[in-house]
Amino acid sequence: MNDQKKSTKSILKSQKIIIHGRVQGVGFRPFIYNLAHQNSLDGWIKNTHNGVEIHVTGLDKNHQKFIGLIQKNAPQHSVIRSIEVEEIQLNTFLDFEILPSKEGTENQIELTPDFGVCDICVEEILNHSNSRLNYAFTTCTQCGPRYSIIEKLPFDRHTTTMASYDMCPRCESEYQNSSDRRFHGQTNSCPDCSIPMRLFFQNQLDETNPERICEKVIEAWNKGMIVAIKGLGGYLLTTAVSNQESVKYIRKIKHRESKPFAVMCPDIKYVHDNFHIDPKEEVFLKSSVAPIVLLDPKDASTFLDQIAPGLNKIGVMLPYTPLFHLLLNKYSKPIIATSANRTHDPIIYEDKEALIRLSEVDFILTYDRKISFPQDDSLIAFSPFKKKQITLRRSRGLAPSFHQSYSFPTDKTILAFGADMKGAFAYCTNTQVYLSQYLGDLSHFDVQQRTEIMIERFIGLFKTKPDIVLVDKHPDYFSTRLGQDYSVSHEIPVYHFQHHRTHFGAILSEHDLWNNEFPILGIIWDGTGLGDDSNIWGGEFFIKENSQISRVGHLKYSSYIAGDKMAKEPRLSALSFSEEISEVSKLLKEKFTKQEWENYLLLSKKSNLLTSSMGRLFDAVASLIGLCDVNEYEGQAAILLEQAALRFVKHGLLDAEPFSFRIEDGVVDIKSMLRQIAQQKPEITSEEIAFKFHITLVEIIRRIAEEHKVNHLAFSGGVFQNGLLVDLLFHKLENDFSLYFHQELSPNDENIAFGQLALYINSHSS
């Protein structure tokens, strides 16, 4: 028996191995090449339209070891979704080789996001004996741009915006050498075959020598000047963190009064010295995603108030390109790094556009590698006590891949247009789901234009065409109209989905909850979305049972007044929610002129349009307790309310008596809460009121869940960007309920496109 086994193991055989997943642009072919050599297997590997294909011949025992090691030692950034192994007719090969890629008929590969520069590449550019010393575009198979430079699939140098750059003989030999870190590194270049860099001063070409460019940028920062620098996903405006005048000037250029700016710190040591940082936050900050992470400064006075006016957290990131490393390594102080566009415009990414639109800045640092998919920096927060990850903006480093282990089983190609406030689209092709980067607020013309270009460019990467279009129910959303036009011009059907059901669909799919037997309560709270009854919803409760979603409750309707102005002026929400509460009216009146007060009261009484928006209730409470009457940026009042509550519990989570509320037939009446707030305001601090408001929301959720005898609670909508609320829900409900929050997806409207796919697939699968 033993002998027999031995003899089969020593027999030569050939196998075909197909691997699906994120296996392109992550050093997978070089990895397989080396593994095959180590295991004495001959054959070849190539990229295909849907992954990689490997043919190998060798001894049976080596085949087994080979497969095991593929799974065990796969490159850091790869994700293997499936490995199919099939024995084929015996082939003889002389060696193992990497074959050139062939374009397939349909592209189904996982698109790889951009990776921040790796530690080894950073060491090289700072090492005086290395040939890449000070080279600003150093990359390897483990780091560098991917999604932002792709023009076609599969990912190869000639399908990226680096196609026009030839490798020098040394880079070429690295590319060919199987033991080199840059073996088949598609983005490889060095000082001898470098990407040209240019520095403009007041729109005139000033310098082309890379080292002198770096010196001049640092000098400019030291003088308090503004430098626009091309990053991975687009241009960033940078300046010294410590210079009050230049920070103010950036606000002026951006037309941005108080929305916070991110700070790029020179290194992790600086972050440790100046911020409280949890291990989870550090992992993200240092990861190849290299997002902005919101952190608490140790000493608030270290940073100018103008960076994040009125806020207690600062968005922090580390240098994520070799260029930023070189600059910050020499400068050794933090800089402001914020997207170089006016508020409400999309990020600037084309060089010509930068020169035209950034004429007010002192220097513009640019280079010739084109960006094909512009992206903002991703933004991640962690809840204050329990450190739950909250993705606030999913962009560079995260888009467009999505790592859920489930797939959408559909033979349809589907394009979902999402919603307007946080534009993002989704594409489902060959059962694979891609989620675009955050595109901006689609109520602005330039973002609309950008979105159209991005959708067209994205679909152009694939050989597929949408069969179906999905849009929001809101007829006035730009995204809805764009989707409808698409459906007409391509003669394909369009499906409309109610906004809050869509959020619920997104959270159900992110946690793979569709096929469970138990009922799930969806707590879907956000600012606005068109409801089935044509009112503006936003404080909604749904139950999902057997794939059916029904609305079981909501915040009691109030008047929706003055259109978009209501979201901009929290005092209007306060007025609407507290109609006929005399204690509150007294407090509110002073926020309006006599004429305004009368006009708005009349509007409120006459309004046919109603709202159940939880976002507006946050606004109302923030205004009532004097935190914010006019929002300078979306969500500002809610953020200030959360912060006030956090100041009350700064030493740890505690319990408090909730305000009173009534629930009748699922309708949550908070009038008595507003009355109590007005009555208690003179005696207790606004911090305590803000905290008790959060506690009240948790109790409302508990009551609804208990009434419906539901043990599983799923949360979605922009309100759940509030880390304190997330922590309190865990703190008070975790023992009695299973709680599901978004993690990889953002809870805000960025998840709507994905939710539309989720709802379509789950309502159209038999």
- Active site (catalytic) residues: 29, 47
Min dist CB 759 to Zn ion, Å, is 40
Residue at 132: amino acid letter: R
Cβ atoms of residues 674 and 579 within 8 Å: no
Min dist CB 140 to Zn ion, Å, is 3
Interface residue with Zn ion, options 19, 118, 572, 758 (CB under 5 A) = 118
Q: Which stretch binds Zn ion (CB under 5 A): 36-44, 121-129, 626-634, 701-709?
A: 121-129
Residue among 193 and 653 whose Cβ is closer to Zn ion: 193
Interface residue with Zn ion, options 70, 74, 121, 690 (CB under 5 A) = 121
Question: Measured between alpha carbons, how far is 24 from 639 in angstroms, rounded to an integer?
Answer: 40
Q: Does 143 bind Zn ion (CB under 5 A)?
A: yes
Question: Measured between alpha carbons, how far is 244 from 240 in angstroms, rounded to an integer?
Answer: 9
- DSSP H/E element including 172: helix 169-176
Residue among 288 and 763 whose Cβ is closer to Zn ion: 288
Here the tokens at position 517 are 């037997």
Q: Does 133 bind Zn ion (CB under 5 A)?
A: no
Contacts (CB under 5 A) with Zn ion, residues 452-471: none
DSSP 432-449: EEEEPPP-B-TTSHHHHH
Interface residue with Zn ion, options 168, 355, 459, 684 (CB under 5 A) = 168
- Find all residues with CB under 8 Å of 384, minimum gap 6, and list them: 646, 723, 724, 727
Q: Which stretch binds Zn ion (CB under 5 A): 105-113, 184-192, 360-368, 726-734?
A: 184-192
CA angle at residue 488 from 485 to 494, to 5 degrees?
85
Cβ atoms of residues 98 and 177 within 8 Å: no
Beta strands in 211-289 (DSSP E): 227-230, 235-240, 262-264, 275-276
Min dist CB 374 to Zn ion, Å, is 23
Min dist CB 324 to Zn ion, Å, is 14
Residue among 134 and 432 whose Cβ is closer to Zn ion: 134
Question: Measured between alpha carbons, how far is 674 from 337 in angstroms, rounded to an integer?
Answer: 41
Fill in the DSSP letter of residue 306.
T
Residue among 170 and 568 whose Cβ is closer to Zn ion: 170
Question: Measured between alpha carbons, how far is 20 from 390 in angstroms, rounded to an integer?
Answer: 29
Residue among 190 and 415 whose Cβ is closer to Zn ion: 190
Residue among 169 and 493 whose Cβ is closer to Zn ion: 169
Q: Does 163 bind Zn ion (CB under 5 A)?
A: no
How many residues bind Zn ion, per CB under 5 A?
Answer: 10
Fill in the DSSP letter of residue 749.
G
Q: Which stretch binds Zn ion (CB under 5 A): 43-51, 169-177, 549-557, 757-765?
A: 169-177
Min dist CB 131 to Zn ion, Å, is 9
Interface residue with Zn ion, options 17, 32, 45, 190 (CB under 5 A) = 190
Cβ atoms of residues 205 and 198 within 8 Å: yes
Min dist CB 226 to Zn ion, Å, is 30
Q: Does 193 bind Zn ion (CB under 5 A)?
A: yes
Question: Measured between alpha carbons, how far is 625 from 30 in angstroms, rounded to an integer?
Answer: 61
Residue among 118 and 745 whose Cβ is closer to Zn ion: 118
Q: Does 162 bind Zn ion (CB under 5 A)?
A: no
Min dist CB 174 to Zn ion, Å, is 8
Min dist CB 189 to Zn ion, Å, is 5
Q: Which stretch binds Zn ion (CB under 5 A): 37-45, 114-122, 601-609, 719-727?
A: 114-122
- Backbone conformation region of residue 344, classed left if phi is above 0, alpha if psi is from -120 to 50, else beta: left
Min dist CB 188 to Zn ion, Å, is 7
Closest listed residue to residue 459, CA positions, set 426, 492, 481: 426
Q: How far is residue 55 CA from its own chain's centroid?
A: 38
DSSP SS3 for 1: coil
Interface residue with Zn ion, options 84, 192, 598, 734 (CB under 5 A) = 192
Residue among 367 and 427 whose Cβ is closer to Zn ion: 367
Residue among 140 and 552 whose Cβ is closer to Zn ion: 140
Cis peptide bond prior to 154, omega within 30° of 0 = yes
Residue among 67 and 118 whose Cβ is closer to Zn ion: 118
Closest listed residue to residue 369, CA positions, set 639, 161, 514, 65: 161
DSSP SS3 for 56: strand
Q: Does 171 bind Zn ion (CB under 5 A)?
A: yes
Question: Measured between alpha carbons, how far is 424 from 139 in angstroms, rounded to an integer?
Answer: 29
- Find all residues with CB under 8 Å of 580, minimum gap 6, and list them: none
Q: Which stretch binds Zn ion (CB under 5 A): 6-14, 110-118, 272-280, 530-538?
A: 110-118
- Find all residues with CB under 8 Å of 121, minimum gap 6, and list them: 132, 138, 139, 140, 143, 322
Q: Which stretch binds Zn ion (CB under 5 A): 140-148, 228-236, 561-569, 752-760?
A: 140-148
Min dist CB 144 to Zn ion, Å, is 7
Residue among 32 and 118 whose Cβ is closer to Zn ion: 118
Min dist CB 139 to Zn ion, Å, is 6
Q: Which stretch binds Zn ion (CB under 5 A): 2-10, 134-142, 410-418, 490-498?
A: 134-142
Min dist CB 115 to Zn ion, Å, is 8
Q: Which stretch binds Zn ion (CB under 5 A): 193-201, 237-245, 260-268, 427-435?
A: 193-201
Question: Measured between alpha carbons, how far is 117 from 380 in angstroms, rounded to an integer?
Answer: 19
Min dist CB 400 to Zn ion, Å, is 21
In total, the chain counts a number of residues equal to: 766
Q: Does 326 bind Zn ion (CB under 5 A)?
A: no
Cβ atoms of residues 22 and 47 within 8 Å: no
Q: Which stretch binds Zn ion (CB under 5 A): 75-83, 171-179, 480-488, 650-658?
A: 171-179
- Find all residues with CB under 8 Å of 138, minimum gap 6, and list them: 117, 121, 124, 125, 132, 190, 322
Q: Does 697 bind Zn ion (CB under 5 A)?
A: no
Q: Can you state the percent helix, strand and coil of the chain, rounding each to 5?
A: 35, 20, 40
Question: Measured between alpha carbons, how far is 493 from 501 in angstroms, rounded to an integer?
Answer: 20
Here the tokens at position 437 are 């980067």
Question: Measured between alpha carbons, how far is 291 from 379 in angstroms, rounded to an integer?
Answer: 6
Q: Does 140 bind Zn ion (CB under 5 A)?
A: yes
Residue among 121 and 399 whose Cβ is closer to Zn ion: 121
Residue among 321 and 631 whose Cβ is closer to Zn ion: 321
- DSSP H/E element including 3: helix 2-9
Q: 52-91 mask for Zn ion (x: CB under 5 A)?
A: ----------------------------------------
Residues that bind Zn ion (CB under 5 A): 118, 121, 140, 142-143, 168, 171, 190, 192-193
